[in-house]
Amino acid sequence: MGSAESPLDRRTLVESLRDYVEQIREEGLEGLPASSTVAPGAIAKASAPPQTARTQAVEASKPDIAPGPAVELISKYPGLEKASTLDELREFIGDCTRCKLAPCRTNLVFGVGNPSAQLMFVGEAPGADEDARGEPFVGRAGQLLTDIIERGMGISRSDVYICNVIKCRPPDNRNPEPDEVASCEPFLMRQIDLVRPRAIVGLGTFAVHAILKIKTPISKLRGNWHELRGIRMMPTFHPAYLLRNPGDKRLVWADIQEVMKYLGMPIPRRGGSSS
Ligand code: SF4
């Protein structure tokens, strides 16, 4: 004699199971996807242990790392996504005339550093020194950034990758305009995709606002992790701002220390360049 299960029994069983799953989820049992209360794009500033391949894979699958609006920007230039190395990307950009900054430049400032860097610094746009040399962050502000990297973090400038949102110098160092950002930003996004660093440091108000698409003051953004293309980004003050406001070097050093902790780097006992 078979014991036929009625649809009612089955429904009761399913409901019981659902209640049980909800209960253990609320209790935070590992292995179940917790319902996220984190805003899309934001990453909590919780202490992050050095990543293993497994934790990296888990982090990449986190539902709160939503693709940002910049994903669509890649399709602005057909063929851009086919550039599979930084050299190919530079070749793709060529002698660019895609925005009105082209006639203003002496050199297009693409980016420098380790093409497989774990850490990437992204600034605003080239200044006069950078335009003259074709390299980002080489003036006084650039020297301060180098000090932060080499004296503060204890690594070589060539160990990281450094670039800007905008590749050509705006006249009289004015802020880049929205149409110029829209034209140039796909190149930055492809650079990020190709370097695929573990962390990005966004330098200064303009760069951070341009890439995060928000207008929150940098003083409120700094010190907290954000997300860009699935990668953690730490906003902080621009080195040029620090030249005018040296008292805030300690804040930048605090932000850099957060990045170092996340990357599993030893923190020097003395604050390097910020002292
Ligand atoms: S700023 Fe960017 S988009 Fe404009 S001309 Fe230079 S490389 Fe091209």
Cα separation of the two ends of the chain: 84
The rounded distance, in Å, linking the Cα atoms of 194 and 196 is: 5
Q: What is the pLDDT of residue 30?
A: 30
Which residue in 161, 156, 181 sits closest to 121, CA to CA? 161
Longest CA–CA span in the chain (Å) reads: 91
Q: Whose CA is nearest to atom 5 of ligand 1?
A: 102
Q: What is the pLDDT of residue 271?
A: 47
Q: What is the pLDDT of residue 58?
A: 38
Atom from ligand 1 closest to the CA of residue 125 = 1
**Helix (H) or strand (E) run with residue 262 in it:** helix 249-263
Q: Which two tokens stand for residue 20?
A: 């049980």
* DSSP letters spanning 174-188: PPPPHHHHHHHHHHH
Supply the angle between the helices 205-212 and 178-195 in degrees, to the nearest 10.
Answer: 80
Q: Report CA torsion sign: 104, 107, 110, 112.
A: negative
Q: What is the pLDDT of residue 218?
A: 96
Say which CATH architecture domain 51-58+66-274 belongs to: 3-Layer(aba) Sandwich (3.40)
Q: What is the pLDDT of residue 261?
A: 96
Q: Whose CA is nearest to atom 3 of ligand 1?
A: 184
Q: What is the pLDDT of residue 73?
A: 54
Q: What is the pLDDT of residue 10?
A: 52
Q: What is the pLDDT of residue 269?
A: 72
Q: Whose CA is nearest to atom 2 of ligand 1?
A: 184
Residue-wise pLDDT tens for the chain (275 aa)? 334 445 445 554 444 444 443 333 323 333 323 333 223 333 333 333 444 443 444 344 443 433 444 545 556 899 999 999 999 999 999 999 999 999 999 999 999 999 999 999 999 999 999 999 999 999 999 999 999 999 999 999 999 999 999 999 999 989 999 999 999 999 999 999 999 999 999 999 999 999 899 899 999 999 999 999 889 999 999 999 999 999 999 999 999 999 999 999 998 775 444 43
Within 6 Å (CB) of ligand 1, which residues are found? 93, 96-99, 101-102, 108, 166-168, 180, 183-184
Chain centroid offset of residue 163 CA: 12
Could you count the other beta carbons within 10 Å of the beta carbon of residue 168?
26
CA of 109 to the centre of ligand 1 (A): 9
Q: Which residues contact 202 (CB under 8 A, 6 or more apart)?
A: 122, 208, 211, 212, 226, 228, 233, 234, 235, 236
CA of 148 to the centre of ligand 1 (A): 28
